[in-house]
Chain A
Amino acid sequence: MSDNLVLEAKSVSKFFGTITALQNVDLNLNKGEVLGVVGDNGAGKSTLMKVLSGLYKPSEGSLFFDKEKVTLNSPRDSQNLGLEMVYQDLALAGNLPIGDNIFLGREPTRKLGPFNFLDHKKRKQLTEEHLAKLKINVKSADQKVEELSGGQRQAVAIARATAFNAKIVLMDEPTAALAVKEVGKVLDLILNLKKLGVSVIVISHRMDDIFTVCDRVMALFQGTNFAESELKNTSRDEVIGWIMGKKD
């Protein structure tokens, strides 16, 4: 493999009781690369992402960040290594404003005597700057997330993932719940991240997404590696075949 390897999973397995969600799965990702992960429901895509982000511990196998073996005990560990996850269920708290969601768990604070208090002004300012950088339009950084459209929520989730100079961003079905006119904006966001040198893994059912943004695509089938190819060497029909477990 090239010297640009930023993330590698080697023969990762994950068991839930008697259920095998993943069996000896390999994955690698280069700097500034967009990797598409496809597979049918239950193929193990989401489980794999949760293992990579530290939400699940792999039952077997190992993970390497920048070629160094790591053990992730929580999503915070992977965050510290520069990996951020955008969840399918978005993982946003609808009752909180946009800015609070972007900085949840990493709120800017200021010291007052022995205590740390939230720095509301700084959070608002950083939020507005970051949204502007990603060209995300919302009425106000103080708007509650539950008041936003699906596309806006997705944008906030991506803004959250990239607010701290992430090197790797994982996206689980980033366009699944969106109106057609909002899909393009999210795909633009992904290409924008690539330009900034961020590596992205995109899980998607939509071939349009995969063939618009990805450099490489890999398919999982029943919890195992099934097929993998540079995007330019494959076709939509072939990838759809992989999802259904067919290989020529």
Chain B
Amino acid sequence: MDHGEKRLMDKNQESLFVRLIPFFERYGILLLILIMIAVLHLLQPDVFLSWRNVTNIFKQVSWQSMLALGVFMVIVTAGIDLSVGSIIMLSLMGLAIASKAGMPWYVVMLVAPAIGFLCGMFNGIGITLLRMPHPFIMTLGTLYIFRGIGNLISGGVPITGFAEQIRVIGNGKIKLDAFFGEGAREYIPTSLILMIVIFFIFWVFLNHTRIGKWIYAIGGNPGAARAAGINVDRILIVVYTLCGFLAGIGGLILAGRTNSAYPNAGLQSELDAIAAVIIGGASFFGGRGTVLGVFAGVMIMGILRNGLNLMNVSVFWQQVLIGSIIILAVYIDVLRRQLATRT
């Protein structure tokens, strides 16, 4: 083999490697989930993949995933929303008060998403019209305000006991008697179906509508979006409003799951949401990330917590581990980008 031929082969090998990068970019994270599942299955063969445990994971992530999805859209615009944990608590309290006031269940059900919607719109209007230097500041402020209001209207005490129709959303079971025979214990959680439907709707929204495209464009270059005649402020208000709305739906699911509204609901869950989005491959600087990635990020957080709980790993070690995974996930992304620009 002469020198030229060898160089040609090197080039071919490199281009094969480079061609594999987008494949890993798209599916690498799903691969990671499969590996996690395999490892946990080997470590906990009887428990981890049991129907009960898997549905438990889904029920746990269903309300968290709503926060992550909303925060994801905000992060795509190169923004941040720190207030979603407080929005979930305020919408939960509003729902509980409406329920205690004896309103019919279908009104109670609308209260949480409506409160979330309004909170999100408040964020969006503050960020755009008040010309806050960064969404961090506005949503840091509302993080305190929304939770404060939630405690003011509830008196800072838990409120329990909701209508059956509310509880179904977070805790309902779709029986699978048709597949597993009469009286089978296997079921699909209602909240899983709700989560899949909402993720699908937002996938369509972000990938197949003009506003979805503009959200990515704003994250990539807000100046370009403005020059293209896009009303950037209006789109940002839409994004923050939808983020709040999703947090409100998260509140509704949480209400159904716990059958109570409590002052510490959603505490620090905004950080879990941000972590899931970052682990899912979205860029903190905007313009990059996929809905599927968010789903994967949420699942990784959920599976990890669940697996560590099953193995009786202390909560303190869980914190250390999740923190390390965030840093590792972003570092892998940095390495990947270095490889991609080298060619």
Residues of A within 8 A of B (CB): 55, 74-76, 79, 85, 87, 89-96, 100-101, 104-107, 109, 115-118, 120
Question: In this complex, what residue of B is CB-closest to A117?
Answer: B208
Q: How far is the CA of A75 from the CA of B228 in the complex (A)?
A: 7
Chain A residue contacts of B288, Cβ below 8 A: 95
Binds A, one of B8-16, B189-197, B211-219, B301-309: B211-219
Cβ contact within 8 Å between A107 and B208: no
- Select one of A76, A92, A105 contacting B221, CB under 8 A: A92
- Select one of B204, B207, B208, B216 contacting A93, CB under 8 A: B216
Chain A residue contacts of B224, Cβ below 8 A: 90-93, 101, 104
Please, could you name 20 A-B residue pairs with CB atoms under 8 Å apart, sorted by A? A75-B226, A75-B227, A75-B229, A76-B229, A85-B227, A87-B223, A87-B227, A91-B221, A92-B224, A93-B287, A94-B287, A95-B287, A96-B217, A104-B213, A104-B217, A105-B225, A105-B230, A115-B209, A117-B209, A120-B208
Chain A residue contacts of B229, Cβ below 8 A: 74-76, 79, 105
With A91-B228, A92-B221, A104-B228 in contact, do A118 and B210 touch (Cβ < 8 Å)? yes
Cβ contact within 8 Å between A104 and B209: no
Chain B residue contacts of A104, Cβ below 8 A: 213-214, 217, 224-225, 228, 230
Q: How far is the CA of A107 from the CA of B215 in the complex (A)?
A: 14
The distance from the CB of B206 to the nearest CB of chain A, in whole angstroms, is 11
Chain A residue contacts of B209, Cβ below 8 A: 115-118
Cβ contact within 8 Å between A116 and B210: yes
- Select one of B216, B223, B228 contacting A95, CB under 8 A: B216
Q: How far is the CA of A85 from the CA of B210 in the complex (A)?
A: 22
Q: How far is the CA of A85 from the CA of B226 in the complex (A)?
A: 12
Chain B residue contacts of A109, Cβ below 8 A: 210
Overall SS of chain A's interface = loop
One digit per residue, 1 when the CB lies within 8 angstroms of any chain A CB and 0 when it does not, for chain B 286-300 equals 011000000000000
Overall SS of chain B's interface = helix
18 more contacts with CB within 8 A, not counting A90-B224, A105-B214, are A74-B229, A75-B226, A85-B227, A87-B223, A91-B224, A92-B224, A93-B217, A93-B221, A94-B221, A95-B219, A95-B221, A96-B217, A96-B220, A104-B228, A109-B210, A117-B204, A118-B207, A118-B212
Q: How far is the CA of A122 from the CA of B221 in the complex (A)?
A: 24
Chain B residue contacts of A85, Cβ below 8 A: 227
Q: How far is the CA of A248 from the CA of B56 in the complex (A)?
A: 85
Question: In this complex, what residue of B is CB-closest to A108?
Answer: B210
Closest 8 CB pairs of A and B: A76-B229, A93-B220, A105-B228, A95-B220, A95-B287, A91-B227, A104-B228, A91-B224
Question: In this complex, what residue of A is CB-closest to B208?
Answer: A117
Chain A residue contacts of B217, Cβ below 8 A: 93, 96, 100, 104
The distance from the CB of A132 to the nearest CB of chain B, in whole angstroms, is 23
Question: In this complex, what residue of B is CB-closest to A105?
Answer: B228
Q: How far is the CA of A87 from the CA of B227 in the complex (A)?
A: 9
Chain B residue contacts of A87, Cβ below 8 A: 223, 227
The distance from the CB of A184 to the nearest CB of chain B, in whole angstroms, is 26
Question: In this complex, what residue of B is CB-closest to A120?
Answer: B208
